[in-house]
Each structure stands twice: as C-alpha cells, then as structure tokens.
C-alpha cells in the first residue's frame, strides 16, 4: 500500500481543478447583438438561379435563362453576361445596356427563380450540429430557425461555447451565442439575427 504525502495530494487536486476550470470556461467572445428582425439585405443572383427576362415590346429576346456555375448567363443577342452577385434590378440595367446595341431604348424586367444566391451569402453550420450544412439565407432568419433546419445539437455539443464568424477577410469577428440556453432552456433572449455569409461554429464538449 502506498501512502501519498498530503501536501502533494492537495497540490494535485488543485491542479486538476484548475485544468477542469480552464477546460469548461466559456470563450470570451462578445455576445451577438440582440434580435431585431431588421437585417438590411437585398437578394443577389447566384449560380443555379433561373432568370426570367422580359423586354418590353421585344418578345423575341425575352425568355428564361439559367445562370451558369461561372456566374454568367447567355440570352438572346447577349452572351456571357455577368449575373452572379447582382440584384435583379442591377442585372436588368446591365441587360438594357447590352441590348442597346441592337434595340432602341430597351426596357427590361428581371424575375429570379430558384432562390440559391451566391455562396458568400449562404449560411454555413459546422461542428456539432445534427446535420451540418450550408443553407440559403432567408429574410428575417434567426438563430433558432437555423438550428431547426440543421436538426439541433448532437449529444457532444458545447452549445453555450458556440460562436458566429461574421464579416469578410480583414474584418471578421467572433460573436458568442448560447445554443444550450436557447434550445434546451427555452431562453428566447438567446435568439439572435443571422446575416448573409455567417458561419455558425459549434465546438465539441470536452466532457
């Protein structure tokens, strides 16, 4: 039988407590802003969308045209027109400019079908979600809408340590969210607005 010196044992216990405390401490990311439901956003055309173009008094150049994987579209009289990353109104003005070489003062209207949008406007969920995936952003989409779409958390998720990566290169920030409080505790105050391009990261619990 081995006897352990009490001071050594006490020091070991303190060290273990310190390690556990360090592992369970929540990240110091600032919390995501409270939900307002008023995210400024305009839909942008993306690869995979279908664009319905109506040119007033010119049915021969009107029609439905797909946006290719390279973000461009080809329509009657116009080839390789950049469509991805533009609002329908911006695209309509570009079409009018391109058709102006052949038609006097064309007036175009663009209607978008598909609702896919460019990749940089999609929301991605990675880590300990039941179904990690990329989702198309929808107006007034909130955190709870997103979690329903991905099936909630796994049994190994550290939900209250999750965070949102928001912003482009050079200005990206991390915003803390409380998924466990929201989904398991019913704390509606933990629901926040999602924005186009957000990445929700759900880490794994260490215990």
User: Would the pLDDT of 61 be above 50?
Assistant: yes
The three-state secondary structure class of 167 is coil
Domain locations along the chain: 50-113, 119-202
Percent of the chain at pLDDT > 70 equals: 86
Q: What is the mean pLDDT of residues 38-46?
A: 93
Burial class (CB in 10 A: 0-12, 13-18, 19+), 72: middle
Q: What is the mean pLDDT of residues 48-53?
A: 96
Say yes or no: domain 50-113 is CATH 3.30.70.890: no
Return the pLDDT at 176.
97
Classify domain 119-202 at the CATH class level: alpha beta
Q: What is the mean pLDDT of residues 11-23?
A: 43
Beta strands in 47-147 (DSSP E): 50-55, 63-66, 72-75, 78-82, 108-113, 123-127, 133-135
What pTM was computed for the model? 0.81
Q: What is the mean pLDDT of residues 6-10?
A: 48
Q: What is the mean pLDDT of residues 50-57?
A: 97
Residue indicated by tokens 């794994």: 204
The two domains 50-113 and 119-202 share their CATH topology (first three levels equal): no
C-alpha distances in angstroms, 192 versus 62, 65, 129, 171, 179? 42, 37, 17, 20, 10
């Amino acid at each position: 039988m081995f006897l352990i010196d009490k001071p050594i044992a006490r020091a070991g216990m303190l060290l273990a407590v310190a390690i556990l405390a360090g592992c369970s401490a929540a990240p110091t990311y600032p919390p995501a802003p409270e939900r307002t439901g008023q995210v400024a956003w305009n839909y942008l055309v993306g690869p995979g969308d279908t664009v319905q173009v109506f040119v007033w008094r010119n049915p021969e150049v009107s029609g439905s045209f797909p946006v290719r994987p390279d973000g461009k579209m080809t329509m009657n009289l116009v080839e390789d027109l950049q469509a991805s990353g533009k609002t329908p109104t911006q695209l309509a003005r570009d079409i009018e400019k391109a058709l102006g070489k052949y038609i006097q003062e064309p007036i175009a209207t663009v209607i978008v079908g598909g609702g896919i949008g460019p990749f940089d406007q999609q929301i991605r969920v990675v880590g300990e979600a039941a179904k990690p995936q990329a989702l198309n952003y929808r107006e007034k989409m909130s955190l709870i809408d997103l979690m329903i779409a991905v099936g909630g958390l796994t049994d190994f998720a550290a939900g209250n340590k999750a965070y949102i990566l928001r912003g482009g290169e050079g200005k990206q920030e991390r915003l803390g969210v409380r998924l466990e409080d929201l989904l398991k505790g019913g704390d509606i105050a933990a629901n926040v607005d999602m924005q186009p391009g957000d990445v929700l990261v759900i880490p794994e619990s260490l215990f």
